[in-house]
Copies of this chain bind each other. A is one copy, B any other.
Amino acid sequence: MESLRYKLTIAYDGALFHGWQKQEPPGEEPLRTVQGVIIEAMQRLLAQPINLVGASRTDARVHAIGQVAHFDAASRVPVERMAGAITGRLPEDIDIIKAEVVDRSFDAITDAKNKQYRYSLHHTRRRPLGQRHAVYHCWTPLDIDRMNDAAARLVGTHDVEGLSAAGHGRTSTIRTIYDCHVETKDDQVQIVVQGSGFLYNMVRIIAGTLVEVGRGRFEPSVIDRILATADRREAGPTLPAEGLCLEWIAY
């Protein structure tokens, strides 16, 4: 059988995962990670070692509806049945949305051109209850127009160092943000960010900064200053992981 390269589109509820990336601390039980759980299911299905390369290393408790990964395998399972066959071996908090055969040169990480994340705030005094693992609860009044004023200033190609946590380990901190805006839906305020790539904690820091603008502690022009000075201390707090969802990745 010929070995082919496959592209997977993956959704997961991040609540009970230590993030995407496989973690096997020496001498300890491996942590429950999305990558680790999927690899285990795939190796049982395909009876061969699998190297699954994910486009985004989502953090612990972060969700995805459109994570992308690639792998190579020589498989008897036809591609149209691959997604269902893997999902059938997965726990309830992961769903393989789609499996496609792609060109051998396809790389989930380096070929990604654009990614969209959404950060969801539960914006009412009422508790989110069953939604509590999918939202950040924030009941302070928010001026959405002010938030959108600030969000629009992020669009463009900038040095985004001031919007990232220390230790991101990337040489270049220049990124292009294609869209950033704030939506309201039922009891939620949602911050949507689309960009060529993101540094560590970047969307959660953007969300934290826009919330400070929305509640009146920062002016919308804070964004210009953060981009000009590249100083993390000018930005707002890193909001909790549970409000974040990776929506899609374009190639």
Contacts and interface: CB of A to CB of B under 8 A. Distances in A.
B12 A129 contact: yes
A126 B95 CA distance: 7
Interface stretch (A25-33, A47-55, A130-138, A196-204): A130-138
A44 B129 CA distance: 22
Contact of A95 (B63, B87, B92, B127): B127
A143 interface: no
A130 B133 contact: yes
A97 interface: yes
A161 interface: no
Interface residues of A, number: 18
B11 A132 contact: no
Interface in A133-177: 133-134
Contacts of A100: none
A15 B95 contact: no
A15 B133 CA distance: 13
9 contacts: A11-B126, A11-B129, A13-B130, A13-B132, A93-B129, A95-B126, A95-B129, A97-B126, A130-B133
Q: How many copies does the complex hold?
A: 2
A97 B133 CA distance: 20
A129 B13 contact: yes
A166 to B, nearest CB: 30
Nearest to A64: B129
A130 B92 CA distance: 9
A15 B126 contact: no
Nearest to A242: B130
A64 to B, nearest CB: 10
Contacts of A94: 127, 129
Q: Give the one of A87, A94, A126, A130 with max B CB within 10 A.
A: A130
Contacts of A97: 126
